[in-house]
Amino acid sequence: MGGLKFKVTEVFKIGFDLAYVNATAGMSQFRFEKAEAWAAPKPNQNYDMSLVNTYSDLDTTRLESDLWAKFTFFKSAFLYADWRYVDYTDDAPYLYDTSGEISWYTLSLGWSF
């Protein structure tokens, strides 16, 4: 993560914040060691557990940023603009893909006195 705030001129300021998160989690593979012995007399049963660990696979990244600018005029009035951006990526979707990319734009006129 990181960010900066910069006064370009006495009446113009900008700011920027950035955060990046990568999260992974999962189970180690496990086996039902007696599977072959159990499965032999039961051909219709499946005792293969070798892929069960993949049901608990988590791999996501999240990028979030916020860029803003504030311009002051007539000493007490100001114009404020903000762009917030989030990109969430599910690199191992299971039930459904929760990945999404969203931008929020804000433009405001204000007065400080």
Partner 1 sequence: MKTTYRLLLVALVVATVPAATMAAIGDGGTIIVERTFWLGYWDSSVDGSPDLAAEYRVIGDGPDLGVKLKTIHEWGAVDFYGRYRDSADQKYKLDFDVNRVFRSQNLLNSLIHRLGHQPIEHFQAATNHGRVVWESDLDPDSEYDLKYQVFETKNEVQLPSVDGLTVGFGYRNQQRKGTRQHTTISHCDACHVNSQDRPTDETTDDAYIDLKYAWASNFVRGSYTGRSYSESPQNISLLFDDALQPELRTPVFDNRVQWDNAEGPQPVDLKPDISKDIFKLDTLINTSGWGIVGEGVWSSTENDYTRNKTDFTGFMASVAKRFGSDRKWNFRWRGRTYSVDNNTVELVPIQRPGAAGPQSPGTYSDYYPTWPQTFTRLPAAKRDVLESKADLVFGRSTRGIGQFRFTWNYDKQDREYYEVAPGTTDTTKNLLGVSWSARPGKGWKTYAGIKYADISNPFQIVDGKYSTLVSQPSGGSPFDPRAAQYWQMHNERIAEGAASPSSYFQGDLRGTYLHNGNMLTASYRYWKGDNNDGDLNDWARDSQAFNITYWATPSPDWQWYVGYNYNDTSMDTVLTIPIFDG
Please give the residue ranges that form the binding site for partner 1 (CB under 8 A): 1-7, 30, 32, 38, 42, 44-45, 47, 49, 60, 62, 78, 80, 86-88, 90, 95-113
Q: Record the tokens describing residue 103, joined without a space.
A: 């931008």
Asked if 71 contacts 78 with a C-beta cutoff of 8 angstroms, the reply is yes
Partners of 87 in beta bridges: 63, 101
Structure tokens at 92: 């191992």
Q: Distance between CA atoms of 87 and 65, rounded to whole angstroms?
A: 9
CB of 67 to partner 1, least distance (A): 14
Q: How far is the CB of 101 from partner 1 (least distance, A)?
A: 4
Alpha-carbon Rg for the chain in angstroms: 26
